Copies of this chain bind each other. A is one copy, B any other.
């Protein structure tokens, strides 16, 4: 399955540190807990982290200074703050340093986890990889792109992989123009005359499958691409 996310927790408070470490580990993160801010840069140098969680109020060094150092050396490492200080000026400072979130104590572990996952999933997605979501509602149809099945009322049609990929692509951007280029590069890896011809064939296939719901339609924009329109005729 998906690889574990790897997280660096910098927290000099023993009980909170222990609690979070255990909880996050239970939630299937790879987590390293460092109590000593001075050792952090070294740690980052020798490991690959997806995210750093920094306490703002630590005894030896404050989290802001630490964050500044980290992002100077490793600007691509995302980080969030954890803090008892919920002074407004601190929140603003946290974000101005480039933090992706700023959580106030008392920390709710579950909330921490969903915030972390929301952040990391989004980062992963934006860094080029396709989203894993496999169920798409398309008008009265439903596509399961991992089984390549298209449901309508009680019937099921098994799509071929190309058909399914194309429909998934369109359904991921409903009511938006999907340019030829984007489609071809995503599905075929390149954009040449013949693949373009292929694309037309698959659009025809999909239109045939989707013909039973008049509120949706694959439209062509001459010379540009296709749009999957939903909600046609709604007021």
Interface residues of A (CB under 8 A from B): 45, 72-76, 88, 91-92, 95-96, 99-101, 108, 110-111, 114-115, 117-118, 122-123, 126-127, 137, 146-148, 154, 158, 160-161, 172-177, 221-224, 227, 230-231, 235
Contacts and interface: CB of A to CB of B under 8 A. Distances in A.
Q: Chain copies in the assembly?
A: 2
A73 to B, nearest CB: 6
Across chains A and B, which 8 residue pairs bring their CB atoms closest together, nearest first?
A: A126-B126, A95-B114, A91-B111, A95-B118, A146-B177, A147-B177, A92-B114, A148-B221
A88 B100 contact: no
A163 to B, nearest CB: 11
Contacts of A146: 176-177
A114 B96 contact: yes
Contacts of A115: 95
A217 to B, nearest CB: 13
Contact of A111 (B88, B111, B176, B230): B88
Nearest to A134: B177
Nearest to A176: B76
Contacts of A110: 88, 92
A148 B147 CA distance: 28
Given A221-B147, A221-B148, A222-B161, A91 B73 contact: no
Contact of A173 (B76, B95, B176, B221): B76
A108 to B, nearest CB: 6
B175 A227 contact: no
Given A88-B110, A114-B91, A174 B224 contact: no
A224 B118 CA distance: 33
A137 B176 CA distance: 19
A74 B174 contact: yes
